[in-house]
Amino acid sequence: MGCDGGTIPKRHELVKGPKKVEKVDKNAELVAQWNYCTLSQEILRRPIVACELGRLYNKDAIIEFLLDKSSEKALGKAASHIKSIKNVTELRLSDNPAWEGDKGNTKGDKHDDLQRARFICPVVGLEMNGRHRFCFLRCCGCVFSERALKEIKAEVCHTCGAAFQEDDVIVLNGTKEDVETLKRRMEGRRLRSKLGKKTKKPKVAESLSKSDVSEEAPGPSKMKTGKPEETSLDSQEKKTTLPPGSAAAQGSSSGKAGKPPCGAMKRSIADSGESEAYKSLFTTHSSAKRSKEESAHWVTHTSYCF
């Protein structure tokens, strides 16, 4: 019952007001973002990768997610924009020499300083604990603080020397506005890659068709120029105007394709109006013939036996 024994209740005890909204502790949120994987909620272990929206993951967790997409997980929404391993970049992180980790905590009675970060900026030396804005480059994966990029303005990476543009700079664990801008960049990048693939396909098809046409087309030796009647007349004129020395060469070269009958060849040389010196070169000439007395015995074989 209450209200006996001289107790005086107060208003907040009798009247229930609206429930207070529970506020998330900022330090706990920073620790969860910078020390734990967004997908598996496990402690970040190398190799560590980052997506195009600036979230940190364990590479093993990403590979398992890509291989087993059928499993319905609530945390799968955090990586729904990752379609392949090419959509993430492996980070090159610089270790913090002041971070001891679990080295001195052998008995389990040591306090873990969550404000001390595992990694630092290699240029300025700021700790990557969420209090300072950090970003990485898509082209090489090197991680720097935003202050280092602003103070040392360069178009080349400070550690590996790789060239980069403004679109390659991605803020790690940025605000909602940063995530929206990164999302727009990601969609535009993927659209351009799709259009580039579509334009490459017709070019490849055209090159293949051109190669096929060139193979089918006859070469310069097979091409015929002029009318067949004209070519036959020209060839006949060339045959008649050939010198005597070239006639023998032509006969020897054309003998492989199709030899004319021997009688026709002998008659053409004997009946021709050439000099006797030229005719004496051939065996059909009277000077080349030998009598039976001059010929060798039938047992021996000489080139003069006819």
Question: For the chain, what percent of residues have pLDDT higher than 90?
Answer: 26
pTM exceeding 0.85: no
Specify which of 17-31, 83-97, 189-203, 231-245 reaches the highest per-range mean pLDDT.
83-97
Q: Are strands 134-137 and 169-172 parallel, antiparallel or unpaired?
A: antiparallel
**165, 115 contact by CB (below 8 A):** no
pLDDT in tens, 137-188: 999 999 999 999 888 888 888 888 889 888 899 999 999 999 999 999 999 9
pLDDT, position 37: 93
**9, 3 contact by CB (below 8 A):** yes
As beta bridge partners, residue 56 has 50
Could you give the angle at the alpha carbon of 120 between the alpha carbons of 116 and 124, nearest 5°? 125
The first and second tokens of residue 98, run together, are 């002041």
pLDDT in tens, 240-262: 444 444 444 444 444 444 444 54
Enclosing H/E stretch for 65? helix 59-67
Q: What is the Cα–Cα distance from 85 to 44, expressed in whole angstroms?
A: 18
**Share of the chain residues as helix, strand and coil, in percent rounded to the nearest 5:** 40, 10, 50
